[in-house]
Every structure is written in structure tokens, then in C-alpha cells.
Chain A
Amino acid sequence: DGGITQSPKYLFRKEGQNVTLSCEQNLNHDAMYWYRQDPGQGLRLIYYSQIVNDFQKGDIAEGYSVSREKKESFPLTVTSAQKNPTAFYLCASTRTLGSYEQYFGPGTRLTVT
């Protein structure tokens, strides 16, 4: 079955620690995205990547970093510079950057205390 996997489902970290969230897809999609979702807010775009070794900042990139070394993988690092890291993080992919339908992974719920 094709799809997007994110791990872990729940993650707990102490303030000041960097943490990396995993996102893998086997849909052979070129484009991948990271969003965060907070209560009472819509999904907000953190970073996106059109192809391997290329990525662009979204609306709220500060305090985050990404890499795209393989087509299938787009990990997100939440750094200690991110002021409010506790959130639900969603990874998505589309066949190309111009495709409309985004397929989402199951998400990672990060709690930083």
C-alpha cells in the first residue's frame, strides 16, 4: 500500500533540545510539505520541497530546518530556537508542486516541556 508514514506518533522533549520528525512516502511524489496545526488555527506551512536537494521556506519556517536527500524522505528538525514547538506536525506530499490534492501522513504530536 502506498502512503506517507510519520514517526513517532507522540514525542516528548525537554525545552532546549532539538528534535527530528520523520516523514517517508512511497507514492513516488516529487513534492513534500510540512505543516503544523495548533488548536483553533488552520494548518500553517513550515517548509516545502519540490525535488531532491531543494526546499523552500513556508510561512513559519523560523526555528525549523529540513533536508531532502532522498525523494522518499523529508525530515523536519524542530530546533531550540522555535519559541512554541508544542503542536501537531503533519507531513504531506503531492505528485508535483503544481498538483492540488495533498496526501497527508498520520502526524506527529510533539510536546515540549
Chain B
Amino acid sequence: RKEVEQDPGPFNVPEGATVAFNCTYSNSASQSFFWYRQDCRKEPKLLMSVYSSGNEDGRFTAQLNRASQYISLLIRDSKLSDSATYLCVVSYLNTGFQKLVFGTGTRLLVSP
């Protein structure tokens, strides 16, 4: 079983739609959670951290459910520029450093 599991997609949505991605993780010792965005053939960039109480950044809302070991990302009012792969990332303490474990990513395609 993968440490971090995501639906690879692609999710095809029209502009203006609301879309949600889910992610599950297997290590109950995971301490921190993130969503990264990766454009085609580019490096990943941090989109947002995910806090236990849930958090919002503009059109993006992230939720964490520690009991179910489940993380979600909601994008409202999708833009063409949101087309990318979204990586779910968890971190835990491993031999003295915060190891990041990356999911394989969920691909989003927003069409006009």
C-alpha cells in the first residue's frame, strides 16, 4: 500500500466549476500536511498547508481528518490557470528530519 494515495484523474471540469480532490495517508504518525501544485514538466510548488481546523486561501479550501487519515482540497470557481497536477504531501519525523512523502498527484484540466 502506498503511503499517500490519490486518484490520478484527470478531472475534466468547465471554467467556474467547483472540484474536490481527496487523499488518504497510511502513517498515523504524520504530523504535517500540504498540497503542492505541479505544472506540466515543471517543479512542484507549495499551494497551501493543511491545518486540523481546515483552512482557506481564496478559492482554495483544505480539510484534514486525522481520524480517517484523509485530506481534501476544494477549488471553487475554477480558472483555466488552475489546470495542473495537485500533489498531496504528508510529513513525519524520520531519523531526525521531517521527511516529506508525496502522492502521485491528481491531474486537473479546466476547459473553457
Contact = CB atoms under 8 A, between A and B. Distances in A.
A41 interface: yes
Given A42-B87, A42-B105, A102 B42 contact: no
Chain A interface size band reads: 20 to 34
| Interface residues of chain A: helix, strand, loop or mixed (majority) | loop
A110 interface: no
Interface of A: 31, 40-43, 45, 48, 50, 56, 88, 90, 97-102, 104-107, 109
A31 B42 contact: no
B45 A100 contact: no
B43 A31 contact: no
A100 B102 CA distance: 13
A100 B105 CA distance: 19
B103 A42 contact: yes
Contact of B104 (A41, A48, A106): A41
A31 B97 contact: yes
A40 B102 contact: no
B97 A97 contact: yes
A45 B99 CA distance: 9
Contacts of A50: 97
B100 interface: yes
A60 to B, nearest CB: 13
7 contacts: A40-B8, A45-B99, A56-B95, A100-B34, A102-B100, A104-B44, A105-B43
Given A40-B8, A42-B104, A42-B105, A101 B46 contact: yes
Most chain A beta-carbon contacts within 10 A, residue among B41, B42, B98? B98
B19 interface: no
A6 B59 CA distance: 32
Nearest to A58: B99
Contacts of B103: 42
Given A41-B104, A42-B105, A90 B97 contact: no
Contacts of A56: 95
